Structure 1
Amino acid sequence: MSAIGARERAVVGRADAAAAAARAGEHLDLIRAPFTLPRSRILVFRDGDRLRVHTSEYERGLEECVVLDTLLVRDAAGAPLPVTRVLPHAIELGDGAATITFAGMSALSIGAPDGDASTQLAVDWVARPGEARQSLPLGGRHAASVLVSVAADRTVDLAPSGDHSAHLDATRRTWLDWFAKCPVVREDLAGMAAFCWWVLGGNIVELPQLGDARAVVPSKIGYVGLWQWDAYFIAVGLRHGDPELAREQLDLALRFPTPDGQLPDVVHEHGVLASSDDLPVSDRDNLRRAGSAVADPDVPVPLTKPPLTAWALRKVLEVEAADDWARGHLDVLRRSQDWWFEHSDLDGDGLPEYGHPYSSGLDDSPVFDGPLPTTTPDLAAYLVRQDLELAELVEQLGVEGAEAAASAHRGRAARTLDRLLTLWDDDRGAFRSLAAGRPVASDTVVGLMPLLTGALPSGIVDRLVAAIEDPERFATPWPIPTVAVGDPDHSPQRMWRGPVWVNTNTLVAEGLARSGHPERARRLAERTVDLVVHGGGPHEYFDPTTGERARTATTAFGWSAALFIDLAVALSAEG
């Protein structure tokens, strides 16, 4: 390519980046979506004309992380300037009478327009409720900007400054560089795709204790860590615009296996969460199950997430070849798969179980209302899928003894599939779960995951498709509920007990495609991206009747954003 061609591509990319940034800005209300910056721990929310500034920390809620309870800019008459527009790089107040932007990752800059000597403003702030209000003049013959610096211990300092324009330009460039990577999708999905790409960028945090690793966290609002399952789904979306960052999420997820091969549930800035011993005491107490040996308070329970590692790795490799990188992870990945059979088959029947609800990813599902350990069809399906993916990977990557290794993975997948089929209840037309060996009556989305194997008998596939299309089970106005509507446990607002999740929809859609129903898979994918658009953003979960965000669902949620991107790219490619 000529130098001119490269320069033209850059111009086109910047133009597209600016358009994507503007589209994302339409969703930045400072309520559901805060003002933030990639890699920064600062969040700005609004409450009327008052802004509040928080830090973002692992296992700490927003109210624990307030650095300024009140931040506002007043005009010459003393009236607060309202927020009139929010862009990724700036909050505009009073139709541009003042702007707020970032000054690096640990400070904000508040400035008046340059060269307007008549501007007479004041920046007011209250550090904590009940404390005295403080003020600094802004504009006119005073400083052109005020710098709000936030220290690691949450102390804050406000001081006059003069570099506001430079900070605006630097913050704008940061966001334009990010939006230049935003995947191109169908026009009807482009606005939401831009917002979802903003969510992924806004949710980047640095983990200095891990060598300045970049983690794309589920949410800077309370989920500041790299949860293993989230990392897989987030990597699948990131791959379309930033495959290097996608690989970095898998690097972190695979960096800290236990000596026996188990992958930890969470990698965070203070260490890892790999067993119940790593939980706060209150969590251990809440999650004990009467009569369950594995929940004995004296016995640590491993905490991990379902085995979709090879599924995610293979998808990341689809968009950019990185065979040496993948080979570097293959041993850890294969050992983690072995761990399930060697250390989580708690009753020794050849079919691993969940020893703790956290390890399922669906913590509050009614399948865990009974005693542990819990045998579920989704775990069996994931294990089948992972062994099949590993067989292909060892062949593709040309590892030593690839033929024998691939044969072993396929053989174990076949045996696990046979065990999975023992969970089929033909009278109910559903896969059942077992709580400490006893059947669980709940009809949940985990019973649809065996479609992912692509190897179910046709009669079972037909019954599962019928369940998906049955309005008494899973055919809600906005499918697919995590608990069937005809089930007494169905609760449309309660986490994992009825709401729709983008990740489970994505997995069921892929299962339909693998099981011979590509058109049904496409319809579910279309309905899922419609849900995110209708609901106003990539929320954590949605009401299956209204399609709106469920009351307690986190907003600007990482895997919902990433999987919207992934579905939108696939649907756009299909035409």
Structure 2
Amino acid sequence: MSAAQPAPSSPTSALSSAALPVDITGTPFSIRGSFFAVSAFDDDMTPGVYLRTVRGGVRNREILRLRVGDDLLPSVEVSAGRLMLRERGAEGPGRPAAPAACPASPTPASGVRAEVELTFSGRGRTLIRVLSGTLTIDFAVRDRYDVVLAESERAWRFVDSGAVRNYRLELLSGAARFASGWDVEHSTDGRLEVSAVDGPALLAIDEFGSAPAASASVSPGVANAGGHSALLSFDDAVASAEADFDRWWKRHGAPAAHDPRFEPTARLAAYVTWSALVPAGGALRRESMLMSKNRMAHIWSWDHCFNAMALRRDPTAALDQLLTIFDHQDEHGGLPDHIDDAGVQFNFAKPPIHGWTVTWLMDHDAVSDGQLAAIEAPLRRWTTWWREQRDYRGDGIPSYNHGNDSGWDNSTVFGEGVPVQSPDLLAFLALQESALGRIAERLGRPDDAAHWRGRAASTVAQLVDGFWTGERFAARHTLSGDRIPSQSLLTLMPLALGELLPPDVFAAAVATLVEGGYLTAVGPATEPPSSPDYDPDGYWRGPVWAPTTLLLVDGLRRGGRTDLAERIARDFAAACAAEGMAENFDALSGAGLRDRSMTWTASVLLVLLDTLGAPEGVTGDAAAASSTVTAAPGADTAAAGAGARA
């Protein structure tokens, strides 16, 4: 998707070669390697388009509100490297009053509407080009020590204590007008109006700590035709981002879209994963994929596994996503709950699905012997940690201290209190032990391989003996041993064991999955709709989630139920096509819920699509005529505005 070379006299001709089906009320605009993102919020309290930070450790993510002409919510066009904002005119949203410190902008000349384009460069630079009309920037002043000041007539600084960062704005071309208010010890507001005069205006915004970059070093137009300019042009930044996404799409997205009807959805998924990457720095020791560049701008210790799987065609990138959490494994073998560039949090854990992930990568020829040797010891220590640190009864069965440890925060399994012994935990440990056996075998250590295979078999026996009721698995209270009366899908997750379960147990558990009402037209509900505890938007008490869907699909396929696995995969892919990369989905209506730009949803979709061939008779022409599963540009609905900040 590389951009065409623009004509020097016409910056607008640099528009991307292909627009993406992105609605920034749900999916933020960003690029690989940037800690900036742009989102639109359409609620009554704070409507507008905002430049935001996705750094860790911040209180306030919104930095600047961008008003295009008189429109707080302008029309939007997104390509991988460029966000285009156009004033709608009289039919657009309401026009709020300007703060007293800065009079409203004059109405543009008749027939002239504001048009603004934005891109990012590096980890901390935003470039905004005003092609026509005026862009009004409102500084998001909220905290006691926020300061907005003029450094000169063409440069301004924002000491954003809520974002724990400083920002410098420099006007490189065009005209600007600035005003701010002051109250004893902090700014009360701030506004910068940037107008195109005799050509486009260009504004550079740089994030910094104690010292900004020495110079903006940006050209307002295109690069010198002879290639001798030391200045980076706006169009160069766009072209660089779009070329990078094009490579990403061709490697990780396009090969998965076997069914052409799903290609627009796969393209959105590829964009969500690509744009969520941030560079090494701070607590991040390698390039890492955030869970989202909405509010969930962290990396949790099971989410990253699914992102690694989606990158299997680049084993180095896949292993980086897997190891980004293991970089912080502690001296006991434990893994943090989540990390970001600002720090590491160990209060909770996450389920040990990492061995399952490594096995999957091995099955798909996506990991080398050297990589297996690098992950083996950390994986062994992580497996041992659960046995040594969470075995409260001395029976060899570890416990979850909270629903957060399982990844199923509010599952009904934890409705009566904690600690809890849950069958999924033993299943994941068995898969991890099995993975260690396969690693040892591949690395030429048969005795170690036999040891770990034996451990896995013992763990499966322990699971069946202690948690199988004859129809399903059941969790139990750790200290009393009493069975917990929960219908949560969590108790059926041992199906992820596939062929490692006894055949009769596997068959009976599958029957419960099917006959118990878990499988809807969207996918596997985390609480069956018939349950009295079912809640359509109840997080882990009803909605369909990507990670659990993939775990079940993989286990069903390995257990011989490929028919059921494919049905679930297609249903979930159709939900993503209709609603985008939502955090979870209403199990009955299919509506996308909560965060609308989750990388593990995008990654799971790409993995599932990769397993689905195009149905017989479906061609590119048929795809163009199909309206049942193709994601239209408006599919990522505005209804997610509040959810994007939840």
Tell me the TM-score normalised to structure 1 length.
0.81
Partner of 1:215: 288
| Equivalent residue in structure 1 for 2:611, among 566, 570, 573 | 570
1:138 aligns with 2:196: yes
| Equivalent residue in structure 1 for 2:136, among 103, 106, 124 | 124
The answer for unaligned runs of 5 or more in structure 2 is 4-14, 88-113, 142-187, 223-232, 617-646
Partner of 2:124: 106
- The structure-2 alpha-carbon separation of the partners of 1:222 and 1:24, relative to structure 1 and needing over 3 Å to count, comes to farther
- The structure-2 alpha-carbon separation of the partners of 1:247 and 1:139, relative to structure 1 and needing over 3 Å to count, comes to farther
| Equivalent residue in structure 1 for 2:484, among 432, 440, 444 | 440
Match of 1:434, as an amino acid?
R
Partner of 2:460: 417
1:236 aligns with 2:309: yes
Distance in 2, Cα, partners of 1:158 & 1:490: 57
- Displacement of 1:82 in angstroms is 3.1
- Displacement of 1:193 in angstroms is 0.8
Distance in 1, Cα, partners of 2:234 & 2:135: 18
- Displacement of 1:159 in angstroms is 9.2
Instruction: Note if contact 2:513-2:519 (Cα within 8 Å) is conserved in structure 1.
Output: yes
- The structure-2 alpha-carbon separation of the partners of 1:233 and 1:152, relative to structure 1 and needing over 3 Å to count, comes to farther
Match of 2:39, as an amino acid?
F
- Displacement of 1:474 in angstroms is 0.7
Distance in 2, Cα, partners of 1:218 & 1:98: 29
Distance in 2, Cα, partners of 1:154 & 1:440: 57
1:342 aligns with 2:388: yes
Distance in 1, Cα, partners of 2:385 & 2:284: 28
Partner of 1:10: none
- The structure-2 alpha-carbon separation of the partners of 1:271 and 1:325, relative to structure 1 and needing over 3 Å to count, comes to same
Partner of 1:316: 361
Q: Deviations over 1:220-244 (max 9, x none)?
A: 222233211011111011223x432
Q: Deviations over 1:117-142 (max 9, x none)?
A: xx5x222111136625331322416x
- The structure-2 alpha-carbon separation of the partners of 1:47 and 1:344, relative to structure 1 and needing over 3 Å to count, comes to closer
Distance in 1, Cα, partners of 2:564 & 2:289: 31
Instruction: Note if contact 1:37-1:105 (Cα within 8 Å) is conserved in structure 2.
Output: no
Instruction: Note if contact 2:299-2:338 (Cα within 8 Å) is conserved in structure 1.
Output: yes
Instruction: Note if contact 1:500-1:543 (Cα within 8 Å) is conserved in structure 2.
Output: yes
Distance in 2, Cα, partners of 1:529 & 1:89: 26
- The structure-2 alpha-carbon separation of the partners of 1:93 and 1:426, relative to structure 1 and needing over 3 Å to count, comes to closer
| Equivalent residue in structure 1 for 2:422, among 362, 369, 376 | 376
Distance in 1, Cα, partners of 2:63 & 2:215: 12
Q: Secondary structure at the match of 1:100?
A: strand
Q: Quick check: 517-526 or 151-160, which moved more?
A: 151-160
- Displacement of 1:574 in angstroms is 9.2
Partner of 1:52: 50
Match of 1:111, as an amino acid?
R
Distance in 2, Cα, partners of 1:23 & 1:488: 51
Distance in 1, Cα, partners of 2:210 & 2:605: 36
Match of 2:137, as an amino acid?
W
Higher RCO, 1 vs 2 (CA within 8 Å, ≥6 residues apart): 2
Instruction: Note if contact 1:442-1:487 (Cα within 8 Å) is conserved in structure 2.
Output: no
1:393 aligns with 2:460: no
- Displacement of 1:156 in angstroms is 13
Q: Secondary structure at the match of 1:44?
A: strand
- The structure-2 alpha-carbon separation of the partners of 1:560 and 1:211, relative to structure 1 and needing over 3 Å to count, comes to closer
Q: Deviations over 1:482-520 (max 9, x none)?
A: 012222221121111110001101111111112221111
- The structure-2 alpha-carbon separation of the partners of 1:60 and 1:574, relative to structure 1 and needing over 3 Å to count, comes to farther
Match of 2:82, as an amino acid?
A
Instruction: Note if contact 1:83-1:91 (Cα within 8 Å) is conserved in structure 2.
Output: no
Distance in 2, Cα, partners of 1:544 & 1:211: 35
- Displacement of 1:22 in angstroms is 7.5
Partner of 2:528: 484
- Displacement of 1:376 in angstroms is 0.9
The answer for unaligned runs of 5 or more in structure 1 is 1-12, 16-20, 114-118, 277-302
Partner of 1:300: none
Partner of 1:29: 23
Q: Deviations over 1:329-364 (max 9, x none)?
A: 211111211222222222111222223332211111
| Equivalent residue in structure 2 for 1:406, among 443, 449, 452 | 449
Distance in 1, Cα, partners of 2:476 & 2:297: 33
Match of 1:478, as an amino acid?
V
Match of 1:504, as an amino acid?
T
Q: Secondary structure at the match of 1:440?
A: coil
Match of 2:204, as an amino acid?
L
Instruction: Note if contact 2:128-2:204 (Cα within 8 Å) is conserved in structure 1.
Output: yes
Distance in 1, Cα, partners of 2:592 & 2:533: 20
| Equivalent residue in structure 2 for 1:460, among 482, 486, 505 | 505
- Displacement of 1:424 in angstroms is 4.3
Distance in 2, Cα, partners of 1:480 & 1:154: 51
- The structure-2 alpha-carbon separation of the partners of 1:52 and 1:505, relative to structure 1 and needing over 3 Å to count, comes to same
- The structure-2 alpha-carbon separation of the partners of 1:509 and 1:91, relative to structure 1 and needing over 3 Å to count, comes to same
Partner of 2:599: 558
Partner of 2:344: 272
Partner of 2:588: 545
Q: Deviations over 1:512-558 (max 9, x none)?
A: 11222111111111111112112x211111100100112xx111101
CA RMSD of aligned residues (A): 3.0
Instruction: Note if contact 2:326-2:335 (Cα within 8 Å) is conserved in structure 1.
Output: yes
Tell me the TM-score normalised to structure 2 length.
0.73
- Displacement of 1:47 in angstroms is 4.5
- The structure-2 alpha-carbon separation of the partners of 1:154 and 1:492, relative to structure 1 and needing over 3 Å to count, comes to farther
Q: Quick check: 406-415 or 22-31, which moved more?
A: 22-31
1:147 aligns with 2:204: yes
Match of 2:410, as an amino acid?
D
- Displacement of 1:83 in angstroms is 2.4
Q: Percent identity?
A: 26
